[in-house]
Amino acid sequence: MMKKGKVKWFNNAKGFGFINEEVSGKKNENDDHAGDDLFAHFSAVQMDGYKTLKAGQKVSFDIIQGPKGMHAVNIRAVIDEQESPAKDTQTARQHEHTPADV
C-alpha cells in the first residue's frame, strides 16, 4: 500500500533529502516508522526528465528498510485536486486581448 507524505527538504546538488510520512489517526502497530523522516534518493523518484523534489511537495511512496533507516522508494508527486486546470485557464483569459485592445 502506497503511503503519503510531504517533502521535508531535498538537496538537488547532493541528490537526496527527506520525506515526512503523513500520519492519520492512531499508529498501526506494524507501522513503527509512521511520522518519521524517510530518506529519499533521487534514483527513487518516479518522473521523466530531471528527478527532483521540492520542500512541501505532496508525494506518495513505498517504504523499505535501508542500511541506516527507512527509505522512501517509488516516489511520485501527488496532484492536489484543488490545483485544477481551471486556475490556469482563468489566468490565461486575463491575458487575452480582444480586437478592441489593439
Query: What is residue 1's three-state secondary structure?
Result: coil
pLDDT for the residue numbered 51: 93
The architecture in CATH of the region 3-101 reads Beta Barrel (2.40)
pLDDT tens digits for range 7-47: 999 999 999 999 999 887 655 555 565 667 999 999 999 99
Helix (H) or strand (E) holding 4: strand 3-11
Domain ranges of the chain: 3-101
Residues in the chain: 102
pLDDT for the residue numbered 1: 78
The predicted model gives 46-72 an average pLDDT of: 95
Task: State pTM to two decimals.
Answer: 0.69
Cell numbers placing 75: 516516489
102 against 69, higher pLDDT: 69
How far separated are the first and last CA of the chain, in Å rounded?
56
Distance CA 73, CA 58 (A): 14
The predicted model gives 61-76 an average pLDDT of: 96
